[in-house]
Amino acid sequence: MWFGTVASPKLEAQRKRVFEAAFAEAEIEHGKLLETCNKGTECRDKVIQELKVKISETWSTVITELKKSVELATKQTKTEVHERWEELVQCGITFPCCDVPEHEWYINTQLIVASRKRIIAWKE
């Protein structure tokens, strides 16, 4: 489905961009993080991993809700079109494009095509 192949990957990429932007903004506002020893790096890695899990959960909820909204909008669109189809048909009956019946129009079109072919053949 479109959502899984197109929308989800784009939303996942957006989640990553938002995380990176938030990290950069925090660094500007609060200052760069200082260098750390191995234990400090492990601590930061743990905090970043926890952040990513929490943020992934948030974005997962957004994706789920968006998917539901898209599915509902798709269903409603199909329903509306099907419910109004007879009105669309009636418009063509009430306001036809011309007064010539369709079968006569077809015959006239075929006569014009045949005449053009004769003229082209005659000019050659």
In total, how many domains does the chain have? Answer: 1
Residue 115 lies in a domain: no
Alpha carbon distance 35, 44 (integer Å): 11
Residue 114 lies in a domain: no
Query: What does the pLDDT look like over 35-90, one tens digit per residue?
Result: 999 999 999 999 999 999 999 999 999 989 998 999 999 999 999 999 999 999 99
Which residues span the domain enclosing 26? 2-99
pLDDT over 70 (residue 27) = yes
Distances (CA, A) of 36 to 8, 24, 51, 65, 109: 36, 19, 19, 40, 84
- Entry pTM: 0.58
